[in-house]
Structure 1
């Protein structure tokens, strides 16, 4: 009896952990909201100096991707695609993404789970980029000194009046700015981020590498 009780308790714990764990597989179109991820290119280039985007073009924030997400945490990934990227869609995507490699990766991992074909996913991504205004302090060759994550959030809220207090997250690598993630609903309007989308930076000021 004691063995059976312990086994039942273990099963309950494992079930709870499985329910709480982020989901990485799903059906295309079955998600709750989007995250627009904007990468701070100079930080990426510190560790990928040979990448195509790191060629002295002066990039600041660049599109990382538009990601379908679950409200309870986690996200669908690598769904059965509605279509493959055509040559025309690759050309279209290159007006949004900084490299073809990134474009193809983002479509395969995240875009296929949006529930629309590649052309419409790129249209949605373009719309999302228009929704989020980059603060003037982060425009090309106009980089602020070190800032706390909360100050970066404040600058984004100031430039985007419709963004709520919990509408974005700042992501760091150590004490260096890596990216910002903005929560948008399925209609691509600002939305509050769930607890799974939160700032991931140490306290105090963080370094913001200069554009190059």
Structure 2
């Protein structure tokens, strides 16, 4: 009886040993197209739309201060800022490209300096060019001109232009305020993000022609908290 059981086990084991390499080959085959697709997706200029990310500067500076680095930041030690441009990000309907040219073309210093009124941190400007700008398919000057045009197309609600005291807000109310201030923008095309306690960014989806559009994936990444705080504008 035992011998028969051992013989049966051996019969089953042999097909399994033959099947294992086939399963491994199938797994490898399923992975190769995905990797190739990722490489194609990082082709400069091959994207669906932009996300303009506007960072609430006082929140960033409060976090930098907690890390002990706030005083060293141009953004946090100079003139007061409210919403500043974090970046203009090429996006896919699902996911996004990044670092589309390695090494990235050198960003001329004069272009960096020209953007400090909107993006008051040299390191941020250089990083945004390397990570996102190279995916736009535009030369550096044209990419940053596009950032300026995108920012000019957005009206900041008056209640957020200058806060002299910390304000507790509902992320949904901030989103509604941007929709009200910008005709054509809908709730499906804007997302408010946050950390554990503070409002972080307002992200607005724009077509390549800088027209408002919906963006399901970005919208679904919005802050889910009922309330967050907005630290005051320094000097406001």
Same fold (TM over 0.5): yes
Structure-2-length-normalised TM-score: 0.77
Question: Structure 2 CA distance, aligned partners of 1:129 and 1:207?
Answer: 24
Shift of 1:58: 2.0
Relative to structure 1, is the Cα distance of residues 211 and 95 closer, same or farther in structure 2, using a 3 angstrom cutoff? closer
Question: Structure 1 CA distance, aligned partners of 2:121 and 2:90?
Answer: 21
Is residue 2:108 matched to residue 1:86? yes
RMSD of aligned Cα (Å): 3.0
Question: Structure 2 CA distance, aligned partners of 1:173 and 1:10?
Answer: 41
Question: Structure 2 CA distance, aligned partners of 1:203 and 1:10?
Answer: 43
Aligned to 2:120, which of 98, 101, 116? 98
Structure 2: give runs of 5+ residues left out of the alignment. Answer: 1-14, 65-69
Structure 1: give runs of 5+ residues left out of the alignment. Answer: none
Aligned pairs, number: 210
Question: Structure 1 CA distance, aligned partners of 2:23 and 2:169?
Answer: 51
1:53-202 to structure 2, matched below 5 A, reads 53-55=75-77, 57-80=79-102, 83-141=105-163, 145-202=167-224
Shift of 1:76: 2.9
1:23-42 per-position Cα deviation (integer Å, ceiling 9, x unaligned):
89711111111000111111
Shift of 1:57: 2.2
- Aligned residue for 2:44, secondary structure, equals coil
Aligned match of 1:11: 27
- Aligned residue for 2:209, secondary structure, equals coil
1:161-184 per-position Cα deviation (integer Å, ceiling 9, x unaligned):
110220111111112101111100
Question: Structure 1 CA distance, aligned partners of 2:155 and 2:39?
Answer: 30
Aligned match of 2:55: 39
Aligned match of 2:45: 29
Contact 1:31 1:76 in 2 (8 A): no
Question: Structure 2 CA distance, aligned partners of 1:85 and 1:198?
Answer: 33
Shift of 1:193: 1.0
Relative to structure 1, is the Cα distance of residues 146 and 74 closer, same or farther in structure 2, using a 3 angstrom cutoff? same
Greater Cα offset, 25-34 or 110-119:
25-34
Structure-1-length-normalised TM-score: 0.85
Greater Cα offset, 92-101 or 118-127:
92-101
Contact 2:57 2:82 in 1 (8 A): yes
Relative to structure 1, is the Cα distance of residues 56 and 211 closer, same or farther in structure 2, using a 3 angstrom cutoff? farther
Question: Structure 2 CA distance, aligned partners of 1:73 and 1:94?
Answer: 28
